[in-house]
Every structure is written in structure tokens, then in C-alpha cells.
Amino acid sequence: MDATAKPLRIPPEMRIYADQHGIFDLIQAMMKRLLMEKPEDPIEYLIDLLKNNSIEVPRIFVLGPPASGKRTVVKQLCKHLGATRISTESLLREESDLVKEALEYKANQSMLWINLVQQRLSKKDCIKRGWVFEGFPKTREQAFRLQAAGIAPEHVVLLDAPDTVLIERNLGKRIDPVTGDVYHTSFDWPSSEHVEKRLVEADGIWESETVAGLLEYQRNLKGLESTYSTVSRVINADQTSIDVFSQVLTFVLSRHRSVAPHTPRILLHGPPGSGKSLQAALIAQKYNIVNICCGQVLKAVAADETSQGELIKPGLETGQQVPDSTVLKILTERLSRLDCTTRGWVLHGCPRNLEQAEKLNSAGFTPNRVFFLDMPDEVAVERVTFRMTDPVTGQRYHSLYKAAPSQQIQDRLQVNPRDSAESLQRRLDLYRTNLPELQELYSDAIYVNADQDPHAIFELLESHIVNRLPNPLSHRWTPSPSD
């Protein structure tokens, strides 16, 4: 094979460091911005981006038919994200030759508008804080021209509501000419008499004008949807403004799937019977990562004729606890092998307590995805105490869910002493005792209800494995009347 065609192999230590600090995603984002913006001095441009922490700033289009609430959503987003608010009206208030030319040819010179947008978005406030653009582009042609000019949004919000609702909304729309705030005669009337007296009817609110605007929007919608299919989401605007904004905010804070190199380091934690082994096997099989079951690793070492194997073999045979120091030494040796460092791993069965978890972290084996599979103790009792194993085939059966196919097999089934009610209760008690400290350590863990169909659990785990972690700039938002 041609040496130039060999895949790039990144040393394991570099992979772990890069993954922990998001280096690959950072480089990908920087290159994307560089190629889109095409600055005259690329080095200075990148230095400025890093200095101002402007790599992942909002770049959002909010589109929708007349009266769908675009302006309200954009104002709320800018307030919450600290982004610059842009609209065609605000562009026309700028002082430049391009603005004068655009005003002169407003109806038919779309390229002038693209140049105007490009000029505005290149200003420092948009680069540093990001931007939210209201109601533009309006056509697929404009969207293509924006892309050609290097203007590509990270998120496109498409507001949608029934035509009858939008027509009714538009009839009652009133504008504050001083602030530009939108009010409604039925839904959102100002509490201040002073503001009420200065309200004026919005342009284009009559039914015939609204219908014409709706037809124009629907005619161009398919083209916009296809252009921004990978970064857009339709939001139902026929609900309360708080609900609309909550859904919009959740979407714009989400992060698109990254093509940057990623080495999965997954930890599954849960009580006995929660399905950790099954889920680990499914994940390992689909994504070609290494399935590390702590118990199986210990058994494999015990089967070897080594001093370490001879040391732990008696404890495993009698059901005694192997010392933590020995467990962690064996486990870290396994996680250090080339298959784990290059392909990634899914670990279950360890750590069982805070001390083990901290030692794993200090050894450099910090998981980047942690899942707590949770379910009531009575479900664990039902799952574990009724399961049996065929000593001939190794096949597992369950008295309630998967009975033996014949009486001959049923007669030879054996119950693992660890699965007895007394042993299980001790294990559950120990699990619940150690759980709070592990939850505190893994504060970003994802909680999964393990009392459901295994395939539903796998789909949920998979969605969090393949997608990027939440944006570090995002934070919890609780709607309040002021929002």
C-alpha cells in the first residue's frame, strides 16, 4: 500500500489530551471560520478569534411567515445569548454607500443586499458576539448567494403556524415607533398608558396583504428548507411565547455532530441487573470499541499462569473481594493497551466507589461519557433472582421472561450464588451507599431509565455517544415573566 495512503495514527497520549481539551473541534471550527471569512491576514484573524473567545459564537437565522413572532424570538435570543441583532430594517439604518444603493434598488437588486449583509456581519460586534438575523434570506437564491459570500449560519429556526392563526395575529399587531417593540390588541397589550398612546398599526396587517405575504413565504419555503436542511429546525409558533422561546433556545444551544477525531471513553454505571453488560456489548459491536467488563478482565488474568493471576484466583473462586489496588492495577494495564487507546472503550463493573473513580482519573482514564442506568430495586430483584444458566451451553434463561425450551434443559439449570436474594440485597445496599459520591464526581453524567426495552435504552445511549457534548457556553434557562 502507498505509504501516503496510510491512515494518520495519533499517539494515545495526544488523543486523550486533545479529546479532554476539545483540540480537534477547536481546530475544525477555526479552519471553518477561516475559509468562510477569508481574511487578508489569516494569522492575525485567528489570534483575534482566540483572544476574544469568538470561536463558537451564535450565527442564527430566524425565518418564518408574517406574524409568526420572528422579532420577539430574535430579541429574546439576543438578550439571552448576548448576540448582535440584525434585520433588513437595521441594515438600512446603517450609513454607507451600499445602504444608499440598496434603498434605491430595494426591490430587485438582491446582490446589493448580500453585499450589505456581508459588510455588516464583518464588523467587530458580530465577529466577537455573534449575530441573530431576522427574516433573511427570503429566497433560495439569496441563501445560495450568502453561502458563496462565506455566510453560513450554525442554526436556522423556521417558525410555523396555521394561516388562520397568522392572519388573526397580524390584524391586531401594533408597533411602538420609539422602541420597535411589537404588541397585540388581544394577546400582548402594554401596561403603560404612555406606550399605549404612541402605538401605531404595523404595515401590511390587512388580510389581503397577510395572505399575499403567506403565499410568498410558502413559495420560497421548500428552497430554504433544502438549502439549510442540515442546520434547520421547524418550531411550532402556535403556542405561548415562553414555550416557543424555550424550544428555540434548546435548538440553538445544541451542537452539530462533529467530524473531528474522537476516541470514546464510556462508563456505564448502574445497579445489578440494569443491563450494563448488554448495552456495553451493543455499543462495542456497533462502534468497534473495546468492551471492558471489570469482572471478565479479572477472570482472564486469573486464568493466566502468572503471579498476578495466582494472587487473585483464590479470591475469585471463593467470591471474596479483590483488593482495590490489585483491581485498579489490572484494569489500568488493560485500558493502556493499543486497542483501547486507539479505538476507545466502554467500561462497566468499575469504579464501584469514589476512591476507585478518583484513582482511575488520576491514572489518566477519565471517561468522556458517563451514563447512570437507574431503576427501582424491586425491578433489579425480579431481573436477577429469577435468572439461571445452562452449564452445558452457557445460555442464560429467566423464569419470567425467557423460560427453558425443554424440561431437560430446565432440570440442569443452575443459579449463581451471587444472584440469591440475600446476596443481591447486599450488592444493592452497597451500590446505593456509594452512588451519591459518584454522582457528585460525575456531575455531567447522563441518567437513563433502565426499566424499559433494551433497544430503547441503546438508542438513547447512542444519541449521546455520537453527538457532541453540550456547548460549554450554554447554561440552564428558566423562563420568567421578564423573558
Higher pLDDT, 334 or 54: 334
Tell me the average pLDDT across 291-313.
Answer: 81
Q: What are 16's three cell numbers?
A: 486523550
Higher pLDDT, 201 or 365: 365
Share of the chain above pLDDT 70, in %: 85
Return the pLDDT at 169.
80
Give the span between the Cα atoms of 319 and 325, in whole angstroms: 17
Return the pLDDT at 275.
92
Kindly indicate the confidence band of residue 478, based on its pLDDT and cuts at 50, 70 and 90: very low
Q: What is the CA radius of gyration of the chain?
A: 30
- Cα 178 to chain center, whole Å? 40
Return the pLDDT at 4.
40
Return the pLDDT at 181.
76
Q: Is 258 exposed, middle or buried (CB count within 10 Å of its CB: 0-12, 13-18, 19+)? A: middle
Give the span between the Cα atoms of 49 and 475, in whole angstroms: 22
**In the predicted model, is pLDDT for residue 441 greater than 90?**
yes
Higher pLDDT, 109 or 432: 432
- Cα 248 to chain center, whole Å? 14
Does the pTM of the predicted model rise above 0.75? Answer: no
Give the span between the Cα atoms of 72 and 437, in whole angstroms: 43
**In the predicted model, is pLDDT for residue 388 greater than 80?**
yes
Give the span between the Cα atoms of 236 and 250, in whole angstroms: 14
Q: What is the pLDDT of residues 252-281, one digit of tens each?
A: 988 776 666 678 899 999 999 999 999 999
Higher pLDDT, 360 or 194: 360
Return the pLDDT at 91.
83
Q: Is 131 helix (H, G, I), strand (E, B) or coil?
A: strand
Give the span between the Cα atoms of 264 and 466, in whole angstroms: 9
302-311, 354-363, 406-415, 455-464: segment of lowest average pLDDT: 302-311
Tell me the average pLDDT across 451-455.
Answer: 92
Q: Which residues pair with 159 in a beta bridge?
A: 235
Give the span between the Cα atoms of 224 and 217, in whole angstroms: 10
CA distances 356 to 269, 371, 388, Å, are 13, 17, 30
Share of the chain above pLDDT 90, in %: 36
Q: What are 51's three cell numbers?
A: 483572544
DSSP annotation string for 299-326:
HHHHHSSSHHHHHHHHHHHHTPPPPHHH
Return the pLDDT at 57.
86
Kindly indicate the confidence band of residue 450, based on its pLDDT and cuts at 50, 70 and 90: very high
Give the span between the Cα atoms of 301 and 295, in whole angstroms: 10
Return the pLDDT at 12.
58
Q: Please work out, in degrees rounded to the nearest 5, the angle formed at the alpha carbon of residue 274 by the alpha carbons of 342 and 355.
A: 60
Beta strands in 203-348 (DSSP E): 232-236, 265-269, 290-293, 345-348
64-68, 141-145, 156-160, 320-324: segment of lowest average pLDDT: 320-324
Give the span between the Cα atoms of 141 and 217, in whole angstroms: 14
**In the predicted model, is pLDDT for residue 120 greater than 80?**
yes
Strands across the sheet containing 290-293 = 290-293, 345-348, 265-269, 369-374, 446-449
Rounded to the nearest 10 degrees, what angle do helices 207-227 and 140-148 cross at? 40
Residue-averaged pLDDT of the chain? 83
Give the span between the Cα atoms of 457 and 133, in whole angstroms: 38
Return the pLDDT at 474.
43
**In the predicted model, is pLDDT for residue 456 greater than 90?**
yes
158 close to 232: Cβ distance less than 8 angstroms: yes
Q: Which residues contact 449 (CB under 8 A, 6 or more apart)?
A: 374, 375, 457
Pairing mode of beta strands 200-201, 173-175: antiparallel
Tell me the average pLDDT across 394-407.
Answer: 84
Tell me the average pLDDT across 71-85.
Answer: 93
Q: Which residues contact 353 (CB under 8 A, 6 or more apart)?
A: 434, 437, 438
Beta strands in 83-176 (DSSP E): 84-87, 131-134, 155-160, 173-175
Give the span between the Cα atoms of 66 and 171, in whole angstroms: 11
Rounded to the nearest 10 degrees, what angle do helices 324-335 and 294-303 cross at? 90
Return the pLDDT at 317.
64
Compute the 3-state secondary structure of the chain and give helix, strand, coil in percent, each to the nearest 5: 50, 15, 35
Q: What is the pLDDT of residues 81-102, one digit of tens each?
A: 999 999 988 887 766 666 666 5
90 close to 180: Cβ distance less than 8 angstroms: no
250 close to 352: Cβ distance less than 8 angstroms: no
